[in-house]
């Protein structure tokens, strides 16, 4: 058990660990116990200060009895916790262990006639006061349909881009049409009418933000190693499916990072700062695990001089921990989204991202870090050591770089100026200058609509009908 104490002291307070100097506030210990039980389990070590120094307890047996009584008398349903008195460095501490509570309803703290649900958010135990979040927890516990499997109110099949759906599934030799949308959970039948699910709207919707205003990607590139530096580049991709958003995010990352050069023998090889296949799976996993029922949070990528953050809104699903992630256990919040991504080949299997990260680490890439710094899941990636940035700003994109991005977008079909500006992440004024140059060099043309018409579209000359 002394080894167990050492393992806990090696960790920081977070989603599964909490330290207390004493038990003078048993209510806070009960609150942490309930929060751990509703999240993924956890350990409370008493007799340790905030700096993880062991200060010990004068009467550990009395502390053990007081905590057991407080937890049993304040939980609904009543819980008998596992509590141990341990000796470390000739000082005695008390260890309270909370297992994940398996009930179909979350564990509650009973206080003043109220029954309150707590969950662990980063290193804090927070009451669940939002009814939408509480309902999400209950759905997860009961094994009911996740939020992504629900029909999107007000949506119709016409809100789905069937051409993209057919193409995506066809690339995996899966035939699909409107009649098969239901079997792939892209839609469900309600009152004899086929209604797109949130999964269908998010992955293949023509404009997902009509139904979920906060479900979009944002990206920002900072000058230094923290947010105190200037923002060198930024973009957000509203009004497009999250799958297309991943493509745009990858383009954004590519233009804001570089490659390292190594010379094994006589052959030169370019190494991306971040391994592309792992990065893509992390981005798709961010979509599969995001809590889209929450409001005011987006999918975010933040690039710094020495690392990158990928943030997905929402905590880990109830019962899931980062240790389970390392062991290959998968508990996707959005099961329909994950199954669709697997079907179309965007992710290999459930629970493989950590294994892929270990494989990539053999190529010299640092292992990513997963944590929960609040009501979100964050992945921290560091570049290949041979690509370690020197803190300088990345090369500013030249006009021709932006032109190349515009041409790549138009290669996929006609686009309006607003759609192009959103994809490239530049202002309408900047875009108009570029489009004027591209039209002058006959690399881009319009569809013939008047310049001030909302029907004006741009295309490649080869796209003439």
pLDDT in tens, 182-192: 999 999 988 88
Grouping H, G, I as helix, E, B as strand and the rest as coil, residue 271 is strand
Are 56 and 85 contained in the same domain?
A: yes
In a domain, 160, yes or no: yes
CA distance 256 to 316: 29
Domain shared by 114 and 183, yes or no: no
pLDDT at position 196 is: 95
156 within domain boundaries: yes
**Model confidence, pTM:** 0.63
Q: For residue 134, tell me if it sits in a domain.
A: no
- Range with lowest mean pLDDT among 10-19, 158-167, 329-338, 447-456: 329-338
Does a structural domain hold residue 140? no
Q: Is residue 394 part of a domain?
A: no
Residue 92 lies in a domain: yes
SS3 212: coil
Give residue 34's domain range. 2-129
Q: What is the DSSP string of 91-125?
A: EEEEEEEEPPP-SSS--EEEETTEEEEEEEETTEE
pLDDT band at residue 349 under the 50/70/90 scheme = low
| pLDDT 10s digits, 195-223 | 999 999 999 999 999 999 999 999 999 98
Same domain? For 225 and 328 the reply is yes
Residues 177 and 97 in one domain: no
**Residue 20 domain-assigned (yes or no):** yes
Do 11 and 121 lie in a common domain? Answer: yes
């Amino acid at each position: 058990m002394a080894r167990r104490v050492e393992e806990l002291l090696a960790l920081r307070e977070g989603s599964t660990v909490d330290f207390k100097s004493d038990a003078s506030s048993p209510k806070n210990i009960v609150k942490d116990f309930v929060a751990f039980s509703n999240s993924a389990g956890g350990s409370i070590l008493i007799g340790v200060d905030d700096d993880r120094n062991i200060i010990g307890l004068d009467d550990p047996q009395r502390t053990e009895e007081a905590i057991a009584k407080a937890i049993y008398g304040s939980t609904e349903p009543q819980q008998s916790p596992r509590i141990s008195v341990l000796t470390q460095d000739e000082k005695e501490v008390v260890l309270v262990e909370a297992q994940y509570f398996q009930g179909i309803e979350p564990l509650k703290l009973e206080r003043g006639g109220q029954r309150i649900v707590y969950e662990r958010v980063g290193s804090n135990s927070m009451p669940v006061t939002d009814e939408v979040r509480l309902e999400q927890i209950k759905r997860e516990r009961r094994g009911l349909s996740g939020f992504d499997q629900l029909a999107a109110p007000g949506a119709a099949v016409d809100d789905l881009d069937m051409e993209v759906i057919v193409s995506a599934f066809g690339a995996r030799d899966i035939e699909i049409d409107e009649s098969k949308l239901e079997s792939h959970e892209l839609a469900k039948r309600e009152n004899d009418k086929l209604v797109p699910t949130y999964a269908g709207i998010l992955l293949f919707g023509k404009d997902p933000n009509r139904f979920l205003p906060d479900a979009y990607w944002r990206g920002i590139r900072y000058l230094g190693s923290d947010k105190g530096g200037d923002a060198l580049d930024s973009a957000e991709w509203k009004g497009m499916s999250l799958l297309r958003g991943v493509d745009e995010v990858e383009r954004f990352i590519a233009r804001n990072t570089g490659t390292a050069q190594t010379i094994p023998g006589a052959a030169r090889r370019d190494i991306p700062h971040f391994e592309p296949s792992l990065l893509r799976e992390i981005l798709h996993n961010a979509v599969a695990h995001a809590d889209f029922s929450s409001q005011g949070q987006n999918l975010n990528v933040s690039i710094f001089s020495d690392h990158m953050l990928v943030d997905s809104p929402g905590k880990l699903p109830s019962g899931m921990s980062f240790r389970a992630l390392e062991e290959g256990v998968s508990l996707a919040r959005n099961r329909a989204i994950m199954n669709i991504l697997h079907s179309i080949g965007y992710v290999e299997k459930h629970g493989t991202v950590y294994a892929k990260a270990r494989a990539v680490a053999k190529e010299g890439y640092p292992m990513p870090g997963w944590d929960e710094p609040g009501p979100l899941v964050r992945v921290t990636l560091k570049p290949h050591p041979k690509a370690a940035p020197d803190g300088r700003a990345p090369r500013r994109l030249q006009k021709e770089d932006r032109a190349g991005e515009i041409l790549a977008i138009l290669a996929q079909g006609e686009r309006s100026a607003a759609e192009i500006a959103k994809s490239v992440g530049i202002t309408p004024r900047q875009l108009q200058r570029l489009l004027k140059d591209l039209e002058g060099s006959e690399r881009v043309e319009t569809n013939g609509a008047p310049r001030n018409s909302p029907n004006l579209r741009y295309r490649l000359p080869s796209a003439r009908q």
